[in-house]
Structure 1
């Protein structure tokens, strides 16, 4: 290949993705020749791959926006931060899952390889500079998650959940692609920066563009899990093995956020008046349905599923503000939510043991008497998720509400506050069960030292970031001006 062509492609800025593809191939090849007793090698290689790609990302980090692959790939500070956060989230998810998978005979290479493939899809989405690149990342992430949900081959419930997820996901992907094709037909470009200029020339009020936007919003809403495209979340969260539920409920939210930012805030920024109204409807419906239906749940995974839907409504609040302040608030909320969600599912993994899934709210009864510290950790996670000060979830909600008020949507902020009060009920119910109900059994809390240490750090993180939220807020402000 001529050097001039290599220079024009600027592949060096995509070193992280190249490294991850190579690492996946290596892990896959090594895992083929391993016995079940040697599967720890796959686990170790997976964690080493995550460390390696983090180092590569730091080494090749940029201080300003850089394009590569003729505009199909974009590197910027926001992308670097989100990638590093995604690596850490995936690594924590793998470490939380280790003991659970071993106890149930599910400690297989497929889980880790599919997880790395899903991470690669997130990385592609984060650095997408073209609608084609966006779609490639979406599909790589989605296909990996479909397979992960059906990872437990002996579980009929998991298989059913995977089929529902696959069918609905295929429809959503087709919807998203159809919207992209309409944009291309009207503007003649797939590059996001060129698309922004072309939309202004065509006219943001053109009926064809609005028609395409409707399909794009529907696709984005499905990937987020916003109402009325939320029907897959409760079934998938409940039916999938808990480590897979934890994976789906954490890191992919970063990809969903960046999908909305790249397509709406960058490519369709001149159509903000059109997509703002659509997102208002999605946001309000998500907060209402998510919080109200969560009250009736007795299964903790399903409760957290509806909780996710309500939090998606809050993330959309920041995005629909259509301002830099709103985008930064949405990014801050997304990162905060990922920290809280992965810790909550980590607690379910900690309390689970062979033949027992701690996925019902009543399974946490009397946890304070069996393990006061981990009851406190779960309490901190629930309080933070509910938005109770001084935990970081409180500041995330304040940031989003402030952006909405600045955008002149005071009534929307009032609705969000009211529904946050409703949400506090089902989070406090978990705390009440842990501290005021009698234990249902006398079995001690199991779990290895690594899981216990990680959960301790996870719980303290929501408290420390709540007391000192400035560091994370400033980081979002620096990388997303």
Structure 2
């Protein structure tokens, strides 16, 4: 018999640690703030241990259906905390260099992670919205921490777009609640499946508005305008955090909506996913072609990858969500490594923001250049990296549902999209740097982790079955 505390213990640890760090910072001198870093990392390790133990715990629904504890939520939380752990490891030295090694950074990250974990386990729309807002609000403050004009513009654009998306989401929820009288996700799904409530057009309108909130969190078209600006305007550690960890929470959001709430509305969901996927893939790849700023390039690249994630949702349900999970898994680790390399080549005075900053990296540091090439090949979907199988499984799934023309269109855009990744590789191995290249932004340990990250991407690309099986939980 398990105590109910074990189910919410990860969230409690994050919440308590965020409050503790905020208070602890008042009593610690500036030269001992490294203790805060180890407190945050220690809490992550403790949560990973709890989640590993929780794998044996049966599915449970708490707080009158508001909180769902199942194998899906455990896996996503484990992956989320693991990625956050690596983000902090990669960022430690660079946070010192740019004077952002402050308790506020860690507290805001922890609060955002708490929102993500709540979102992943939400069982009704109230908990869902609570997690959604707690995820977003700290990110607005993180973006503006370095207090410059570009960051202010990016944060304001993100805030305005987020407010609009939240309003649309709440409007959709109000329509669904007005027709069903329920806020529980499973209860709404039951009424749609078993009753004739689906015949009412209001449910479809509600679905469209709720889907808009999902589109924003992924950064898909038409709610994509904030992505390149936020990627460019944020400090690299914040870009690293925003570009990886929230994608896992967005996947959890998609699962709760598409599988737990509207699983019966298959055709309508497929239509919305395909439209958003096509637009995101087209806009992301076309606009990335003209970018010289590597952070904006990776921002548009993220929009294109979100298009693939939406294609993976086609035909997905509670028993078949492994393709989308595998794609997000591979994308997050590939982006983690790519932004880690960008951070490594940055210094206190200059970020490696532009493609010419990578000139000669592969010639001066061959191993480092090869690892970056692996990350870029994975993002482009070129074998033998993990990104190839991630895209292959998505395309195979679409073919099984008869979307042959769509697959041809995706392949053409993917070939076009590979060009801007190859520009970076060309700069690393065929251009000569005028000012030399130094690895200053990461510690030696973080440098080793980036190399292991690249090896892991290569390993998954050659032996994807274990990770795919893991994503099928």
With normalisation by structure 1, the TM-score equals 0.95
- Counterpart in the other structure of 2:367: 373
1:197 aligned onto 2:190:
yes
Counterpart-to-counterpart distance in 2, 1:379 and 1:309: 20
- Counterpart in the other structure of 1:472: 467
1:415 offset after TM fit, Å?
1.6
CA contact (8 A) 1:11 1:69 kept: no
Which of residues 120, 123, 133 is equivalent to 2:117? 123
Which of residues 155, 173, 176 is equivalent to 2:166? 173
Q: How many correspondences in the alignment?
A: 471
Tell me whether 142-151 or 298-307 shows the greater mean CA deviation.
142-151
Counterpart-to-counterpart distance in 1, 2:389 and 2:437: 37
CA contact (8 A) 1:179 1:213 kept: yes
Counterpart-to-counterpart distance in 2, 1:9 and 1:15: 10
Counterpart-to-counterpart distance in 2, 1:323 and 1:271: 11
Q: Secondary structure at the match of 1:13?
A: helix
- Counterpart in the other structure of 1:212: 206
Alignment of 1:304-453 (within 5 A): 304-323=298-317, 327-446=321-440, 447-453=442-448
Counterpart-to-counterpart distance in 2, 1:369 and 1:12: 51
- Counterpart in the other structure of 1:40: 34
Q: Secondary structure at the match of 2:100?
A: coil
Which of residues 2, 9, 14 is equivalent to 2:8? 14
CA contact (8 A) 1:11 1:68 kept: no
- Counterpart in the other structure of 2:176: 183
1:386 offset after TM fit, Å?
0.4
- Counterpart in the other structure of 1:243: 237
**What are the Cα deviations for residues 324-375 of structure 1, in whole angstroms up to 9, with x where unaligned?**
6762101100111000011111111100012111011110011112211110
The answer for unaligned runs of 5 or more in structure 1 is 1-6
1:60 offset after TM fit, Å?
2.8
1:456 aligned onto 2:451:
yes
Is the alpha carbon distance of 1:412 and 1:325 closer, same or farther for their aligned partners in structure 2, counting shifts above 3 Å?
Answer: farther
Counterpart-to-counterpart distance in 1, 2:199 and 2:325: 28
1:8 offset after TM fit, Å?
12
- Counterpart in the other structure of 1:4: none
Counterpart-to-counterpart distance in 2, 1:204 and 1:339: 39
1:444 offset after TM fit, Å?
2.9
**What are the Cα deviations for residues 268-323 of structure 1, in whole angstroms up to 9, with x where unaligned?**
11111112111111000000010011000000000000000000000000112345
With normalisation by structure 2, the TM-score equals 0.97
The answer for unaligned runs of 5 or more in structure 2 is none
Tell me whether 26-35 or 124-133 shows the greater mean CA deviation.
26-35
Counterpart-to-counterpart distance in 1, 2:226 and 2:114: 23
Tell me whether 27-36 or 295-304 shows the greater mean CA deviation.
27-36
1:9 offset after TM fit, Å?
9.7
Q: Secondary structure at the match of 2:326?
A: helix
- Counterpart in the other structure of 1:231: 225
CA contact (8 A) 1:150 1:240 kept: yes
Q: Secondary structure at the match of 1:320?
A: coil
1:17 offset after TM fit, Å?
1.1
1:219 offset after TM fit, Å?
1.1
1:252 offset after TM fit, Å?
0.3
Counterpart-to-counterpart distance in 2, 1:222 and 1:423: 22
CA contact (8 A) 1:318 1:326 kept: no
Counterpart-to-counterpart distance in 1, 2:206 and 2:90: 41
1:162 aligned onto 2:146:
no
Is the alpha carbon distance of 1:94 and 1:327 closer, same or farther for their aligned partners in structure 2, counting shifts above 3 Å?
Answer: same
RMSD: 1.6
